[in-house]
Amino acid sequence: MLKIFKNKSEDLPEFWQNYEAKFHEKLPTEIAETRFVVLDTETTGFDLKKDRMLSIGAVAINKKSIDVADGFEEYISQETFNPKTVKIHGIIQNERIETLTEEEAVKAFLKYIGNSVLVAHHAGFDIGMINQALFRMGLPKLKNKVLDTVNLYRGTRIISNLINIEKSYSLDEIAETYNIDIKDRHTAAGDAFITAIAFLTILGKLNTDRKLNLKKLFRY
């Protein structure tokens, strides 16, 4: 028990300390100056404890543009057999994609995200998955601020009794509304890209008074 109350960073590995150190910097206030990392994970299922990540895909938004060069796409090798992994194994073998262990992938991901604001659709799940992986490595949870496109999208809807405002919108519904191509649906990077375009569109819709800043975004 005592260990928890000790100064953690001394015991934790160097890569974690480097990650943590980036949070000494303050986040910018303007959206245009903020680096957002839009991410998605493919998993073996929806159980945070039992299921595992198969891949992590992400793309960064700098200066309100999706920066393809600043992307992340890693596939994770599986220790135990799970029928749901067969399909992705097929892809990995056919295209000779290199895989990383979960630990390596998470390590690379921490380095990639730094203190950026994370964006995901149903963010709770993806962040939960990564936190579980961190937990298995004996590390604390992610420290980044998180935005969920489900909530942001809801903020673009009008307030009216005629529509169900509490509804939880799927990525497919949002893509349909914004007319976004959904060809790569259900690959982590493909979904991250769709989410990123949706995110930029939502920013445009929320910014009707041209005064939208980072702080206001977290209120949705």
Task: Assign 85 to helix, strand or coil.
Answer: helix
Residues in contact with other proteins, counted by CB under 8 A, come to a total of 41
Nearer to other proteins, 88 or 123 (CB): 88
Stretch that binds other proteins, among 4-12, 45-53, 95-103, 137-145 (CB under 8 A): 95-103
Q: How far is the CB of 8 from other proteins (least distance, A)?
A: 32
**C-alpha span between 65 and 23 (Å, rounded):** 23
Q: Which stretch binds other proteins (CB under 8 A): 41-49, 110-118, 129-137, 177-185?
A: 177-185
Residues 33-72 touching other proteins, rule: CB under 8 A, are 57, 59, 64-69, 71
Q: How many CA atoms lie within 13 A of 74 on its CB side?
A: 18
Residue 137 burial by Cβ neighbours in a 10 Å radius (0-12, 13-18, 19+): middle
Tell which one of 83, 179, 215, 219 touches other proteins (CB under 8 A). 179
Show contacts with other proteins in window 180-199 (CB under 8 A): 183-184, 187, 189-190, 192-193, 196-197
Q: DSSP label at 130? A: H
Structure tokens at 119: 């964006």
Q: CA 21 to CA 37: how far, in whole Å?
A: 18
Interface with other proteins, residue 169, by CB under 8 A: no
Rounded Cα distance between 87 and 151, Å, is: 31
Q: For 100, phi and psi rounded to 5 degrees?
A: -115, 160
- What residue ranges bind other proteins (CB under 8 A)? 57, 59, 64-69, 71, 73-75, 95, 97-98, 157-158, 160-163, 176-179, 183-184, 187, 189-190, 192-193, 196-197, 200-201, 203-204, 207-209
